Amino acid sequence: MGILIRPARLWCRSVIMACMAITLVYCQGQPAETDPEIQNGSSSGGIAVDTSPETIAAGQDLYMENGCGVCHGRDGSGKGPLAHTIEPPPRDYRDPSAYKQGTSVAEIADTIAAGVGGASSKMPQYLHLSESERTLIAQYIVSLQHQ
């Protein structure tokens, strides 16, 4: 009997420990912005990373159709034709530490709808895009990270 109960207790204990760890992380403020470990998992911010060629191609098409490349560059380097006229400059998507509002698919999809806050920011809001369109563009941007 004792042998049967023990693993269950251990399991219970590790669940409690995991809950405590999660609570701790969330109580520490804004982990999504400060801890790159949390953002760069295979599933980030509730939307799984999708690296299929179809998704990336569809995201890239939307990215170009909506003029993102004018500022951010076709390759996401942040060096589009307009970039030198803008301060603060457009992001280099390839560098995860450059993002202010998070690097996950869900966070980038939110950024596309909301723009970047602050009166001085030139990152526009794209309210006409549907959530699935924003998600496809975000998948494309995530595929450029770490390149």
Residue numbers at the binding site for ligand HEC (CB under 6 A): 63, 66-68, 70-72, 82, 86, 88-91, 99-101, 108, 111-112, 116, 118, 121-124, 126, 137, 141
Using the minimum distance from each CB to ligand HEC, give the nearer residue, 8 or 119: 119
Q: Could you tell me if 139 and 112 are in contact, meaning their C-beta atoms sit under 8 angstroms apart?
A: no
Which residue from 36, 30, 71, 59 is spatially nearest to 142, judged by alpha carbons?
59
Dist. CA 50–CA 71, nearest whole Å? 25
Kindly state the smallest distance separating residue 113's Cβ from ligand HEC, in Å.
10
Dist. CA 134–CA 102, nearest whole Å? 15
Which residue from 91, 94, 97, 138 is spatially nearest to 116, judged by alpha carbons?
91
Using the minimum distance from each CB to ligand HEC, give the nearer residue, 17 or 36: 36
Kindly state the smallest distance separating residue 29's Cβ from ligand HEC, in Å.
17
Kindly state the smallest distance separating residue 55's Cβ from ligand HEC, in Å.
15
Using the minimum distance from each CB to ligand HEC, give the nearer residue, 106 or 141: 141
